[in-house]
Amino acid sequence: MTHENKFGMFIHWGIYSLTGLHEQAIARYDLDRAYYEGLANEFDPADYDPEQWVLLAKKAGMKYICITAKHHDGFCMWDTKYTDYNIMNTPYGKDVLKMLADACKKHGMLLSFYYSNPDWHHEYGYNPASTHQWKSARMDTSDTEKYREYVKNQVTELLTNYGPIYTFFWDIPPKIEDPSLNELVRKLQPGIYINDRGWDKGDFSTPEREYQAAEGVSFTRMTEACNSVGQQSWGYRAQEDFYTKRHLCCSIDRIMSMGGSYLLNVGPNAKGVIDEKYTEKLMAVADWYNRMEGCLECAEHDPFSYEPRHDKYIATKKNGKTYLHFYNGIISESVALKNYPGSPKKVRLMNSGAELPFAIEPLPEFFDGKTGKASAPFLHIYGIPSDEFVSEPIVLEIEW
């Protein structure tokens, strides 16, 4: 993903959406197991229309969808032979992953699967070496060998019956080294990318939530960051604390300009709908993202040190142009670069698409206090309507 980094949609969906609380509701709210698992008998997402999801992702500029096939609760969202605790045994009774795979295929959307290693339903799911084991079915016994057979069987189904799969997202490192799992994944889906939360280190790293990458400018390993549109939960939450547009856009800009992919999550509700508030937030981000005209994807790191006076930035290059990403915004209506390879032919503000005026000139803000003379000239890009874009990172395109 370093060389073909993309923006994608993460989807956390399962019977937990019926609680309106959290994808780990059974554990985090200490719910009664019989009650929680009984929700399978109520799960009937009659309004599920995967084409709507795919079209929404497309509209947001997203190139792939990663959906939870099985979360920690162990409930399986596909027609699996290996447990009855699955979508076929609900009032809905249809393989929702198959429906999504068909919709993705129809609209040219890549598909990825999330699969949780913790399994709170499976008899042998308990793994004392790992975390997130709170509500495992039996914590008095552990047989990860038997459990691994189950995982392999399920992975085989997921990677055989749903067409080409773009990435595989294991969740919660089991802290047991077993390369045979990823070998199986690769055998079934040559060319797939696998994350680092599985049974060996996989292909890519997965920083999450408010993780701030070290003050770097470029990832050294293939990376896919993820965050949800809301702060409290990945699964549907009726009272979600949605992030600000600014927080999300700044995070996406920073990660993607460092060469990472970015999964932005939504939690569809129990009817199978990405509801209005989730959609609104996603579209607010998409409105910014689409104005970036793809400059965040597949760009190269630009090693030139531009030294803007105040604002933190990451520089990339694409199609012969330089992109300066001021991922936390800028403090005035201008950017002044101390170093520049020459005089630009053209400077554009990606946020609006408008051309910006510039001059190579000394600035009174900087002068040599000893001699009283003006400092060396800056590349002064001015007239930036920053106040119109306070909820967004500022991105400049420079043609040299």
List contacts with ligand GLC (CB under 6 A). Answer: 12, 23-24, 171-172, 208, 226, 234
Q: Rounded to the nearest whole angstrom, what is the least distance from the CB of residue 338 to ligand GLC in the complex?
A: 40
Pick the closer one to ligand GLC by CB: 208 or 297.
208
With CA atoms as reference, report the closest residue to 250 among 219, 304, 210. 210
Q: Rounded to the nearest whole angstrom, what is the least distance from the CB of residue 91 to ligand GLC in the complex?
A: 25
Query: In angstroms, rounded to a whole number, what is the distance separating the alpha carbons of residues 288 and 303?
Result: 26
Pick the closer one to ligand GLC by CB: 225 or 356.
225
Q: Rounded to the nearest whole angstrom, what is the least distance from the CB of residue 322 to ligand GLC in the complex?
A: 33
Pick the closer one to ligand GLC by CB: 2 or 117.
117
Residue 379 is encoded by which pair of tokens? 């590349």
Could you write out the DSSP letters of every residue in 46-109?
TT--HHHHHHHHHHTT--EEEEEEE-TT--BSS--SS-S-BGGGSSS-S-HHHHHHHHHHHHT-
Q: Rounded to the nearest whole angstrom, what is the least distance from the CB of residue 226 to ligand GLC in the complex?
A: 5
Count Cβ atoms below 10 Å from residue 375 Cβ, excluding itself: 14
Q: Rounded to the nearest whole angstrom, what is the least distance from the CB of residue 114 to ligand GLC in the complex?
A: 7
Pick the closer one to ligand GLC by CB: 228 or 351.
228
Q: Rounded to the nearest whole angstrom, what is the least distance from the CB of residue 297 to ligand GLC in the complex?
A: 22
Q: Which residue has the tokens 């057979």?
A: 149
Pick the closer one to ligand GLC by CB: 12 or 348.
12
Sheet of 314-318, strands arranged across: 300-301, 314-318, 321-326, 394-399, 346-349
Query: In angstroms, rounded to a whole number, what is the distance separating the alpha carbons of residues 30 and 33?
Result: 9
| Residue 101 backbone zone (phi > 0: left; psi -120 to 50: alpha; other: beta) | alpha
Could you write out the DSSP letters of every residue in 29-49?
TT--HHHHHHGGGT---TT--
Q: Which residue is nearest to ligand GLC (CB)?
A: 234
Pick the closer one to ligand GLC by CB: 79 or 208.
208
Q: Rounded to the nearest whole angstrom, what is the least distance from the CB of residue 12 to ligand GLC in the complex?
A: 6
Cβ partners under 8 Å of residue 260, min gap 6? 1, 2, 5, 207, 219, 223, 224, 225
Cα 349 from chain centroid (whole Å): 25
Q: How far is CA 264 from CA 48, 67, 271, 285, 293, in A?
A: 20, 11, 21, 10, 18
Pick the closer one to ligand GLC by CB: 234 or 340.
234
Q: Rounded to the nearest whole angstrom, what is the least distance from the CB of residue 208 to ligand GLC in the complex?
A: 5
Q: For residue 204, what are the β-bridge partners?
A: 195
Q: Rounded to the nearest whole angstrom, what is the least distance from the CB of residue 234 to ligand GLC in the complex?
A: 5
Q: For residue 66, what are the β-bridge partners?
A: 10, 112
DSSP SS3 for 153 = helix
Pick the closer one to ligand GLC by CB: 226 or 255.
226
Could you write out the DSSP letters of every residue in 112-124?
EEEEES--SSSTT
Pick the closer one to ligand GLC by CB: 24 or 251.
24
